[in-house]
Chains A and B, each alone.
Chain A
Amino acid sequence: MNIDKKITDDLVANDVSFVTTVPCKQLAGVIDEIDARDEIFHIPSNKEDEGMGLCAGAFMGGKRPAIIMQNTAIGVTINTLATLIQYYRMPLPMLISYRGELREPVACQVEMAVHTKALLAEMKIPTYHFHHQKDVEELDAILKYTFMCNKPVAILTDANFWGGYGDQ
């Protein structure tokens, strides 16, 4: 299974047509796939809170948005999630590279990894964790759930899900 293609297909099938990204090595393939698809307008952002602002505007303009980012961004976006996305009740699927988990080579990434789920839980953000490749089968249902309830929803995707870091 090509995970990048499967994720992009699910986004398209759920009418997600506006995607903003802040890159991560693990997400490079899916970002490339999204960039290549005519059905999706891809706009890279410089920071994740900026990206959430773009998504909020796109949603109000009638598009279904999504953001792709690293889990370090949870530290950047708490205020935006609380005072924009949640306060105005907007849907926002967040496909998140869960750095700092098993098979992580960079020690500093662990420092945000240990806070990631606690912060999401504190924010009452529905959170799904993809650890095995087959977990991606739930993405379609998660996207439907997100646009049903008009909430930000986190999909954490760890290194094991992506198949590790090559030679690490």
Chain B
Amino acid sequence: MIRSEILKEIAPILRDHLVVCNIGLPSQELHMIDDQPTNFYMLGTMGLSSSIGFGLALAQDKTVISIDGDGSVLTNLGTLPTIANNETDNYILLIIDNGSYGSTGDQPTYAGKKTSLSAVATACGCDTVIEVQDKDLGPVLQSAIDSKKMTVIVCKCDSGNIKLPVITMDPVVIRDRFMKAVQA
């Protein structure tokens, strides 16, 4: 499965929760598949989906899911020790690991080679780290949400992209709509 197929499959699970979605194609795909006020789309700033979602989880009680990529996590590896050492049980980091920089032309990442992001997360001190194959993600994500335990999920999948439009919504509108959904 490629990332857009995974997002399509988990969209009904994501819909009920606050989602911070990674820059580029992941946000464009989620926006096209199931646009929700509870989605925060990153239009720039590669690497910070985990940090934004984690700050949000620390600031309020609702469950937050950060959708990140292997390339983006590699950009901001320092995020994993911060998450591990400030545990909050309303936070799930979902790393869609397709072993490539999808938005820039599928150049390979080191996570697709020798580096295991689940091993890195564990070494950083994250207590619950689950590596899962794409087709099995849905139930794993749902049970992570239900467990109310901070979880890092590394979902291994194929690289590949679909053609789709950029998000034209104004960033302040995205932010304002999202903040209202957070407070609702």
Contacts and interface: CB of A to CB of B under 8 A. Distances in A.
Contacts of B47: 49-50, 53
A166 interface: no
Interface string A73-95: 00000011011100111100000
A55 B43 contact: no
Given A60-B175, A88-B171, A88-B175, A18 B45 contact: no
Contacts of B69: none
B130 interface: no
Contacts of A65: 55
B109 interface: no
A57 B82 CA distance: 14
Given A57-B52, A57-B53, A18 B43 contact: no
Given A46-B81, A88-B175, A89-B172, A60 B182 contact: yes
Q: How large is the interface on B (under 10, 10 to 19, 20 to 34, 35 or more residues)?
A: 35 or more
Nearest to B173: A88
A54 interface: yes
A57 B182 CA distance: 11
Nearest to B175: A88
Contacts, number: 117
B53 A43 contact: no
Q: How large is the interface on A (under 10, 10 to 19, 20 to 34, 35 or more residues)?
A: 20 to 34
A79 B44 contact: yes
A57 B179 contact: no
Contacts of B58: 18, 41, 43, 54, 57-58, 61
Contacts of A55: 55
B76 to A, nearest CB: 6
B43 to A, nearest CB: 7
B56 A61 contact: yes
A87 B171 contact: yes
A46 B81 CA distance: 8
Nearest to A46: B78
Given A43-B82, A79-B44, A61 B175 contact: no
A103 interface: no
A63 B59 contact: yes
Contacts of A63: 59
B79 A50 contact: yes
A47 interface: yes
Given A57-B59, A63-B59, A84 B40 contact: no
A61 B171 contact: no
B122 interface: no
Nearest to A84: B45
A59 B58 CA distance: 10
Contacts of B49: 53
Interface of A: 18, 41, 43-47, 49-63, 65, 79-80, 82-84, 87-90
21 contacts: A43-B58, A43-B82, A43-B86, A46-B78, A46-B81, A49-B45, A49-B47, A50-B51, A50-B76, A52-B48, A53-B48, A53-B49, A53-B55, A54-B51, A59-B59, A60-B59, A61-B182, A79-B44, A87-B43, A88-B175, A89-B171
